[in-house]
Amino acid sequence: MQFLNLLILVLAALVSSGLADIMEKCSRVPKDTYIAVENDCRSYIYCAADAEESFQEACPIDTYFDENISECVVDEYGICLNKKQNVTNSQIITEEEEEEEDAEGETNVIVTEKNEVKNKTTPKPSVDVAAHRPICNPLENSFHPHPVRCEYYYRCVHGFLTIFRCNFSHAWDHPKQMCLPHKEAQCYGHSKIRRSL
C-alpha cells in the first residue's frame, strides 16, 4: 500500500512539473497559440486562454510541427532528421535552383549539394492561419482549402481535422475539391502556390 501511495506521489510530481513547464513557456506568448517544443520537431504546445487547459502534444509519425503555419506537416524531406544537423525548414537544391525567389513569407535554411547552409528570408504572410483553421463537425466529413498555401488542404473526418499536401506540382482546386496540376488548379481566395518547397 505504501508503495502505491509513493508511486502516486511521484506521478503527481512529474505531471505537475510538466504542467508548470508548459505554463512557463505559455506565459511568453499570446493565448490560444501553438508553439514548437525545443529539441523535438514533432511536438508542440497549445497555450489555451485558461492556462490549466494548455497541453503538449506530438504530431503523427512522419510529420513535423511547422511553427510558421501552426500545423503538423508531412515530413517529405526529412526535416525532423535534419534537425540534428541544425537545419530547419530545409530544402535540398542544386546550385542552379539556389537563385530562385520564394514568394511566400518565411525563413528557409537551404542546403545545397555542396552542403553549404544559406538563409533565405522573405516577408511573412499577412493571413493568420490558425484563425482560419476550419472547425470540424463530428457528424459530417468535409474538405476545406488552406487559406495561404494552395498545395495544402484540410480534411475533416468524424470531427477530426487533418492537413494534407497535394503531390508535387499539384495544388488543391477549391471548386472541384481535389488535387490538380498547378496550371489547372483554381486556388481558394488569396492562397498561392509556392514555386519551391
Report which DSSP code applies to 187.
Answer: -
* Residue 9 vs residues 62, 103, 112, 113: alpha-carbon distances, Å: 35, 53, 52, 53
The per-residue pLDDT for range 52-103, each reduced to its tens digit, is 888 888 888 788 888 888 888 888 777 777 664 443 333 333 333 333 333 3
**Distance between terminal CA atoms of the chain?**
57
Domain span at residue 68 reads 28-84
CATH of the domain at 153: 2.170.140.10
Say if 37 falls within a structural domain. yes
Strands 117-121, 142-145: pairing kind? unpaired
Say if 21 falls within a structural domain. no
Say if 174 falls within a structural domain. yes
State yes or no: pLDDT of 112 exceeds 70. no
d(CA 39, CA 23): 18
Q: Tell me how many domains the chain contains.
A: 2
Say if 9 falls within a structural domain. no
d(CA 26, CA 136): 26
Between 38 and 192, residue with greater pLDDT: 38
Say if 92 falls within a structural domain. no
> Is this structure's pTM higher than 0.85?
no
